[in-house]
Amino acid sequence: MSDSRPTVSPAAPPIDWTAHAAVLFDLDGVVTPTAEVHMRAWADMFNHFLALPDAPGGGDRSPYEAGDYFAHVDGKPRYDGVRDFLASRGIELPEGEITDSGDTLTVHGLGNRKDVAFNEVLERDGVDAYPGSVALLDHLRDLGTPLAVVSSSRNAPAVLAAAGLSDRFVTVVSGAVAEELGLPGKPAPDTFVHAAEVLGAPVERCVVLEDAVSGVRAGAAGHFALVVGVDRGVGADALTEAGADVVVADLAELVPGDREEARDGA
C-alpha cells in the first residue's frame, strides 16, 4: 500500500470525499447489519446438512461454527461459499443445477436452501441500516457523489428496499447481476470495476467500502483509490493484511463533523 494514501486516525484529518469521483459500498455488514441474518441462515443450512445421518460426500461432519463463516463464506457469491466450506471439510457433492430445490444434496441445492432461509428472516424481521452508514450516505448525497452497491448477495435489491435506501444508489451490482454478466465474484475485482464503469468513474478515483476479507482483497486487486475496511468482527489486522488502507469500526468515523462523536461512542 502506498504511504501517500489517506489514513483515518485520531490525529489525521477526515477523508476529503470531494477528491473522489464515486464510492462503491458493499451491502451486508457495511450499510445494513444483514450479515447477522446471513450468518444465521448459513449456520442453519450447513448444520442441517452436516447432521443428516445418511448425507453423501464423506468428510468432516462436525458442526459448522462462526469461524467457518469468516474463513470460507463471508463476502463470497453464495455457491462459492458452499464450495469453499465443503472443500474445507473434505466433503464432495455434485454441482447440480441452479434450479435444484433446497432439499437437493448438491452445491446448488444447499445454496438455494440458504437463500430461502435468508428471505424468510428478512421478510419476518425487516432490516434497519447502520445509523453511521446512513450519516455517510447523507453526506455523500449532499456532495452529489455517485454511489453504487456491489454485493455478492442476490438479495441486495430486496435488502435495500427493506431498509428504505434503494434511491441512494445509481446502480446495484448484486450476485444476480454478476451471474448474468459472467463476472467472477469477490475476491476478484470485476464486480467493483463494473460498478465504476456504470458510474462513469475511473477506478483510480473510486473508494471501496468493505467488511469482508474477500471484498477488501477485491478492492485492493482493482487498484482503487482507497479501500476502507469496516471491522464488524473480522478484525482490523485481517482487513489490513487483505489490503485495506483504512479500517474503521463504523462509517460515522468518516463523516466530517460526526468523527469525534463516533469515536466517543455518541
**Which residue among the candidates 3, 26, 80, 258 is catalytic per the annotation?**
26
pLDDT digits (tens, 9 = 90+) for 143-161: 999 999 999 988 899 999 9
For the chain, domain boundaries: 17-33+128-263, 36-125
Q: What is the pLDDT of residue 113?
A: 94
Ordered alpha helix ranges (H), 31-189: 34-50, 66-68, 78-89, 107-125, 131-143, 156-163, 175-181
Q: Would you give the end-to-end CA distance of the chain in angstroms?
A: 32
Please confirm, yes or no, whether 28 is among the known catalytic residues: yes
Which residue among 3, 16, 28, 74 is the active-site one?
28
Q: What is the pLDDT of residues 65-117, one digit of tens each?
A: 989 998 999 878 889 999 999 999 999 999 999 999 999 999 999 999 998 88
Is the bond preceding residue 94 a cis peptide, omega within 30 degrees? no
Cα–Cα separations (whole angstroms), residue 130 to 99, 140, 251: 34, 16, 9
Judge whether 26 counts as a catalytic residue.
Answer: yes
Q: Which residue has the cell 434511491?
A: 167
User: CB of 93 within 8 A of CB of 110?
Assistant: yes
Domain 17-33+128-263 - what CATH class?
alpha beta
In the predicted structure, residue 12 carries a pLDDT above the cut 50: no
More confident of the two residues 71 and 4: 71
pLDDT value for 258:
58
What is the pTM (predicted TM-score) of this model?
0.74
